[in-house]
Structure 1
Amino acid sequence: MPTEKITALLDDWSAALQSCDPTRITDLYAPDAVLLPTISYQIRLDPAQIRRYFRNMMQMGPSARFNEVHSRIFDTIAINSGIYTFRLHRDDGAPYDLICRFTFVYKLLDDAWKIIEHHSSTMPDQP
């Protein structure tokens, strides 16, 4: 399988994020996925926790742009890692950007690539 198909999984994730539907994005994660989120100290270890995190994040009107992506495939495991920029909105509606590092690890489960590990952290120079 070409790595372009793995890179395209990021488009699905980005569209789900922008949909502001926390169930839609949670469905991209495996039931036992681990999320190390960008704007929370709590590691999310099950679908309910992941959904709650995204429900809260989606109140900030998020979007994500992938600046740099490195994709690899190892049989039934695939990885996307790189840098993305989140556009979020403060309570007063003012937009701001967070530049972050990311790693998505996928596993092929029942003929679908599901996220089993997602780590996102702001760049060291971000506020």
Structure 2
Amino acid sequence: MPTEKIAALLDDWSAALASGDADQIAELYAPDAVLLPTASYQIRLEPGQIRRYFRDIMQRTPSARFMEVHSRRFDTVGINSGIYTFKMHRSDGTPFELVCRFTFVYLLFDGVWKIIEHHSSIMPDQL
């Protein structure tokens, strides 16, 4: 399978993020996934924690635009890494953007790609 399928998994994640439905995005993650999120100090290690993180983020009307993507596949493992812009809104409704580095690692479970590892961090020049 070409890496285009792996890259397309980012479209699924982005659409789930834009849906505003924390359950929809949490379903993309494996039960034992690890999430190192952009907007939290806490590493998320179980489905409930991942769902709560996205439920909280959804209140900020997030969206993601992938600017640079590097996709690879190794049998039942897929990896997307690169740079994306994460747009959110402050509590007063003012939009802001964070340019972030990201890595998604996927594992193929019964024909379905699930995120097993997700790391996102802002670029150093924004600190």
Report TM bin, short chain.
Answer: over 0.9
Deviation of the 1:125 alpha carbon = 1.1
Q: Note the 1:48-87 alignment, pairs <5 A.
A: 48-87=48-87
C-alpha separation between the residues in 2 aligned to 1:71 and 1:15?
19
C-alpha separation between the residues in 2 aligned to 1:42 and 1:94?
25
CA RMSD of the aligned region, Å? Answer: 0.5
Runs of 5+ in structure 1 lacking a partner? none
Partner of 1:31: 31
C-alpha separation between the residues in 2 aligned to 1:7 and 1:41?
27
Deviation of the 1:47 alpha carbon = 0.4
Deviation of the 1:65 alpha carbon = 0.1
User: Kindly, what percent of the aligned residue pairs are identical?
Assistant: 75
C-alpha separation between the residues in 1 aligned to 2:73 and 2:116?
14
Deviation of the 1:126 alpha carbon = 1.2
Partner of 2:120: 120
Q: Deviation digits for residues 33-75 of structure 1, max 9, x if unmatched? A: 0000000000000000000000000100000000000000000
Partner of 2:14: 14
Deviation of the 1:12 alpha carbon = 0.3
Partner of 1:40: 40
1:77 partner amino acid:
V
2:125 partner amino acid:
D
Question: Are 2:90 and 1:90 aligned?
Answer: yes
1:103 partner amino acid:
T
Q: Deviation digits for residues 4-45 of structure 1, max 9, x if unmatched? A: 010000000000001010000000000000000000000000
Please list every run of at least 4 consecutive aligned residues from structure 1 whose deviation after the TM superposition is greater than 3 angstroms.
none
Aligned length: 127
C-alpha separation between the residues in 1 aligned to 2:67 and 2:41?
24
Using the size of structure 1 for normalisation, the TM-score is 0.99
